[in-house]
Amino acid sequence: MDYKNKSVLVTGATGLVGSCLTKKLVDMGANVTALVRDHVYNSGLIRNGYYHKINRVKGDLKDFALIERLIGEYEIEYVFHLAAQTIVPIANRNPVSTFETNIIGTSNLLEVCRRAPLFKRAVVASSDKAYGDNGKDAYTEDTPLRGEHPYDVSKSCQDLISLAYEHSYGMSVAVARCGNIYGAGDLNWSRLIPGTIRRLLNKERPLVYGNGKMLRDYFYVEDCADAYLLLGASNEVGAFNFSGGEPKTTLEVIKMIQKVMHTKSPLDYIGSNNEIDSQWLDSTKAKERLGFAPKHTLETGLIETVKWYKDIL
C-alpha cells in the first residue's frame, strides 16, 4: 500500500518511535494527524522540524469524545497507536495512570475506530513485555501473555483488547510486539542505552541493575518505524514479533557502548528493577509473511545513536 494522500493518525507522535514514524509518513505524502498530550520541547519530531508539517490535536486518549471528534473531523483511515506510558519504574510507582493510558486509552481508540465509517486499518504498538515471564527465552507469537508487574500487565491487556476487536468485529487490526527500542530521540534516561551514553558523556559510571546478566534483544528505532509501516501496509491481522535478532546481556550492551564511544569506566551495580531476567523475540513470522529484515546491527545502530546524543548533550 502507498501511504500517499492517506489520512493517518499517529498517537504518541512525539515519542521515540512516533517521531521517526511520523517523519517517514510525511515524506511518503501522507496527511498525518497527531494526538499530542504534552509538549515535549526536546522531542525528535520538534527537532527535525516535522512537528509543523502535521495536524496536531491537543488531548488525551482517555477523552472519548475528543477521540471521536478527531477520527471524524480529520477523516482518519489508518491508525498507528503508539501512545503509552512505557517506563517500567514509573509504572511501578504509578500503576493507575499506566493502566488508564495503556488500557483505557487503547479501548477508547479502537471503539471509536469500530464505529468510524472511513476507518480501514490500525497497527497497535505492543511490547515483548506483554508476554511476561514465561520461563523460556525466545518468545513466539503463540507464547501466552502473562504479564505480572504493572507495566507488563498493561501491555498484556492492551494486546488482548486489540486482538478482541479484530476477532469479534472483523476489524483490520494488527499488533506489533517489539523488543527494546533504542535510537536518536530517546529522552528516557532510566533506560539502559540512553542512560549509559549520557553518564559516559558526563564522565560518570554507568549503572547496572542486578548482576548485569539480564538478557534482551534491542531494536533500532529506524528499523522499528519501518516494521510498523510494513505491517500497516499489509492485510495481515493478529500479532507479529519484531526485533533486532541479537540478544545481549546488560553488561554486553554497556561494553559495546563503551567500544563505540572509545571509552572505559567502572560500573555501579544497583538493585533489581522488577524486570524479567531473560527474554527475546522470535521474528520468524514477520520475516516469512511480511518480508521483514532489520537493516541495522546493534553496533551500527549504536554508532548512529551515540552521534545524536553527542550533538544534544
Is 151 designated active site?
A: yes
Q: Which of 50, 131, 151, 228 is catalytic?
A: 151
Question: Using CA atoms, how far apart are residues 238 and 7, in angstroms rounded to an integer?
Answer: 23
Catalogue the long-range contacts made by 58-66 (C-beta closer than 8 Å, 24 or more residues apart): 59/35, 60/105, 61/11, 61/35, 61/37, 61/101, 61/104, 61/105, 61/106, 61/108, 61/109, 62/100, 62/101, 62/104, 62/105, 62/108, 63/108, 64/108, 64/111, 64/112
Give the chain's length: 313
Residue 265, Cβ density class (10 Å: 0-12 exposed, 13-18 middle, ≥19 buried): middle
Q: How many CB atoms lie within 10 A of CB 69?
A: 14
Which one-letter DSSP state was computed for residue 260?
H
Q: Which residues are catalytic?
A: 151
